[in-house]
Structure 1
Amino acid sequence: MPQTQHIILSGLKVDTLIGVYDWERTRKTTLFFDVTVQADLSAAMQSDDVKDTVDYALLAKAIQDAAADQTFELLEALGGHVINAVFKDFPVTHIKLAITKPDILPDVNTVTVVFEQSRGD
């Protein structure tokens, strides 16, 4: 039975055009992504070879690239797009994604939307 491990990227900066309000649509906003992926990393545990794991740098870049040229209004739509991109390009079985948008509401530091999905859901 394959082992399942997690890789976590915390505080990944992602610049994208996002927002419902007209003033949000004038320039890109920096969002912060916390990403946890599950994958069988047992081969990498034995080989110590990056080709046997989910390359963290490639995962981070893929997430940034998936969001970079999008113009979604909602974090929910952006999250769905990013999850699909990760499942398409990486051998992960499960993803938990939290997208944090700072300074969007008066008297609120941040708004975070959290997604959790398994491959095939």
Structure 2
Amino acid sequence: MDKIYIEGLKVHSLIGVYEWERKAPRPLLIDLCLETDLGIAARTDDVNDTIDYAKVAGLLEKVALESDFELLEALTLAMLDALFRDFPVQAARLKMSKPDILPNASNVAVEISRRRS
């Protein structure tokens, strides 16, 4: 299966368990891998025959801004659900990073993968 990658996408979301985390949206970084058939787009060179990266990024930004989750796991799954709802993907892997949240670690992250049944 062919793959589309979007790496280092920066979004903002009100997310966190602790009260101090819930005062303002926090920056998050997303690494995404989508599996889909890119054969037609490769032959036609037409954006209408592929998954538009800008639309994917816009959807992820929208989900992040409109959410109010405590856990990265919940936001990550909500993003995957939206991707499967709006785009013809066969499988997706989304890694969400929350940098500088722990004083002794540069980053924490979760990664969830799903496949269309």
Decide: shared fold, TM above 0.5.
Answer: yes
Unaligned runs of 5+ residues in structure 1 are none
Q: Deviations over 1:5-58 (max 9, x none)?
A: 100000000110000000000000010000000000110011000000000111
Aligned residues: 117
What SS does the aligned partner of 1:104 have?
coil
How far apart are residue 105 of structure 1 and its match? 1.1
Q: Deviations over 1:73-109 (max 9, x none)?
A: 0000001100000000000000010000011112011
The TM-score normalised by the length of structure 2 is 0.98
Instruction: Find 1:80's aligned residue among 77, 82, 104.
Output: 77
Q: What root-mean-square deviation, in Å, do the aligned CA atoms of Structure 1 and Structure 2 show?
A: 0.6
Structure 2: how far apart are the matches of 1:86 and 1:64? 12
How far apart are residue 119 of structure 1 and its match? 1.2
Q: Which AA in structure 1 matches 2:49? A: D
Per the alignment, residue 108 of structure 2 pairs with 111
Task: Within 5 Å, give how 1:33-52 maps onto structure 2.
Answer: 33-52=30-49
The TM-score normalised by the length of structure 1 is 0.95
Structure 2: how far apart are the matches of 1:113 and 1:89? 22
Task: Within 5 Å, give how 1:1-121 maps onto structure 2.
Answer: 4-120=1-117
How far apart are residue 69 of structure 1 and its match? 1.1
What SS does the aligned partner of 2:21 have?
helix
